[in-house]
Structure 1
Amino acid sequence: MKNVITAIALSTTLLAATTPVYAGMVSSADVITQQQMNYDKNQILSYVDQTEVLEKLQALGVSAEDAKSRIANLTAEELAEFNKQMNEAPAGGIVGTVVTVLVVIAVLDLLGVTNVFSFIQPIN
């Protein structure tokens, strides 16, 4: 009986050990691309857990689970583009607002309505 158990264990081990193994060189670029994709995915998934985003998703009729599953299925290019847009959107909006306010104040200074910038002389 002991010999039968030993034979079965040995044959199972040998069968499991003979499964084909595919090995190859992994370039640094491949590793970096995979890590960047994981980083982008985790960063976008962290946005979904924010209260404001959850409220907006609910208003649009999308559950958080659906959003997370869609994010999980994005390609590397889609993730990178989405993450880029998320990172640039607030900064771009703020810069645009600041420039608009400065232009309005400069025009008001030119018209003599305000005197915020001392180097701008009124038209009159």
Structure 2
Amino acid sequence: MKKPAKILTTAMIMLFSLVQMPLTQAAMITTGEAIQAQQRNIDRDNLLSMLQKDELRAQLAAYGVDAQAAAERISHMTDAEIAMLNDHLDEMPAGESFLSVIGLIVVVLVVTDLIGATDVFPFIRPVS
């Protein structure tokens, strides 16, 4: 009788140890992927640092946009949205950058209000 109990105990220990094994896998990332991830963080930080400038904050306030709400939205933007915003910033001449940035941020906020992701402008109703 001791032998079946020992076999059952051993089988149960093996079963529990298999069930509790993590199902995650580690994988190598390429240098390019690591650089892209770092660049996305730098791009997001650059946009957030632009919002610290007084001229940009004044323009956003003139449009009725709270700079803190804009910063929060930038923090929640996808990598594709950040890349699109930075691509537009890179294409702009130096003198137009502030007004264009403000315009682009307002457009992004309006679109996100329309899809219901944010509620920055109270007069915009989400499309449902």
Give % identity: 34
What is the deviation of 1:40?
Answer: 0.6
2:63 and 2:95 map into 1 onto residues whose CA distance is: 25
1:34 and 1:72 map into 2 onto residues whose CA distance is: 15
* C-alpha spacing 1:62/1:91, structure 2 compared with 1 (3 Å): closer
Question: Residue 78 of structure 2 corresponds to which residue in structure 1?
Answer: 75
What is the deviation of 1:91?
Answer: 4.1
Question: Does the residue aligned with 2:70 lie in a helix, a strand or coil?
Answer: helix
Question: Residue 28 of structure 1 corresponds to which residue in structure 2?
Answer: 31
Runs of 4 or more above 6 Å deviation: none
* TM-score (normalizing by structure 1): 0.53
Query: How many equivalent residue pairs?
Result: 78
What is the deviation of 1:19?
Answer: 5.8
Calculate the aligned-residue CA RMSD, in Å. Answer: 2.3
Does 1:40 find its partner at 2:37? no
Question: Does the residue aligned with 1:81 lie in a helix, a strand or coil?
Answer: helix
Structure 1 unaligned segments of length 5 or more: list them.
1-17, 94-124
Q: Which has the higher contact order (CA 8 A, sep 6+)?
A: 2
Amino acid corresponding to residue 86 of structure 1 in structure 2 = L
